[in-house]
Amino acid sequence: MLVRFLRCAGLALGLAASCSGKASAAALSFLSVAGANAGDCSDPKTPCRTLSYALTKTSTGGEIKTLLPGNYGTATITTAITLTGVPGSLIMVGSGAVGLTINALSSQIVSISGFTLNGQGVGKIGVMVTKAGQLILRDCTIKNFTQTGVQLRPVTVMKFSIEDAFIANVGTYGVEVSKTGTGSATGVVHRSTIIGRGTSGIGVFLTQSANVRVSDSLIGHFEFGIYSGASPGNVLRVTRNTVSQNVNGVVIEKDVGAVAETGHDNFIAGNTTDIDTINGAPLTNVGTQ
């Protein structure tokens, strides 16, 4: 009788383990507009339909790949993940909504490539980060949002890389780098095009001790192309960029410990005001402006 009890108890524990958390989650999941939200998404012959469903079926540190062009829906990311989209992979965002919300652990990396996030003129934010160890955003289009293309307001220390991005028709910020509480954000905007609506908004905005390098990028059609706000410890470095056709090209406000450096053939011209250093803010030329 005792042996039988132990065997049954062991079976029950095994079943409980297999049904808990992501015990059976796949390291690689597949999405398709021809798929269905069923199964574990691990077989490309039977892919899932939406990104939010696939996230529940993919292990921490795993990857989700799209197989066909189409709309895969908005999602909240709470763990380390890689999202890889084929050309035409869309995230269509509804009124007042956010395309991708990232709230992972401070040690985790979230990587997104190949997606187009479209606010359709009514969505609020393309990518919003409240917590992550690192964000890698590569080869993505983010457009038509009422507020911000990429918003970084981490509650902990994070790094980021935005490369080969096209951000357009945003109402407030193309890229906002800030923080919440004791968080901080350090990273690069590289080989990206950030285009506004004409005479409003900011292309790249730094505040709350942000540390940002902008390189090899085109920024135009904003009220402010690049703006480093009055914040202790802000660090802005700009190299090989074109900042043109804005009301104000590059604006730097003075504060304790703030650094602003320009070098290596930036083209900051064709704005109503090209460079504005407020209250004697330093702008150090470390190469060819």
Q: Identify whether the C-beta of residue 62 lies closer than 8 Å to the C-beta of residue 29.
A: yes
pLDDT at 12: 44
Report d(CA 82, CA 77) in Å as an integer. 10
pLDDT of amino acid 288:
53
Confidence of residue 281 (pLDDT cuts 50, 70, 90): confident
- CA dist., res. 108 & res. 207, Å (int): 24
Q: Sorting pLDDT into bands at 50, 70 and 90, what band is 257?
A: confident
**Per-domain boundaries in the chain:** 76-285
Work out the pLDDT band at 282, boundaries 50, 70, 90: confident
pLDDT at 70: 98
Across the chain, how many H-helices and E-strands are there? Answer: 2, 27
- Tell me, what's the pLDDT at 134? 99
Q: Would you tell me how many other CB atoms lie within 10 Å of the CB of residue 196?
A: 28
Tokens for 126, please give them: 């393309």
pLDDT in tens, 12-43: 444 443 443 455 689 999 999 999 999 999 99
| pLDDT tens-place string over residues 212-250 | 999 999 999 999 999 999 888 899 999 999 999 999 999
For 134, phi and psi rounded to 5 degrees?
-155, 140
114 token code pair:
């190949």
State whether residue 138 is helix, strand or coil: strand
End-to-end alpha-carbon separation of the chain, Å? 85
Q: What percentage of residues in the chain have a pLDDT greater than 90? A: 81
User: What CATH number is given for 76-285 in this structure?
Assistant: 2.160.20
Mean pLDDT of the chain: 91
Amino acid at the residue 193: T
pLDDT at position 287 is 62
DSSP letters, 197-227, are SSSSSEEEEE-SS-EEEEES-EEESSSEEEE
pLDDT at 5: 40
Between 183 and 279, the higher pLDDT residue: 183
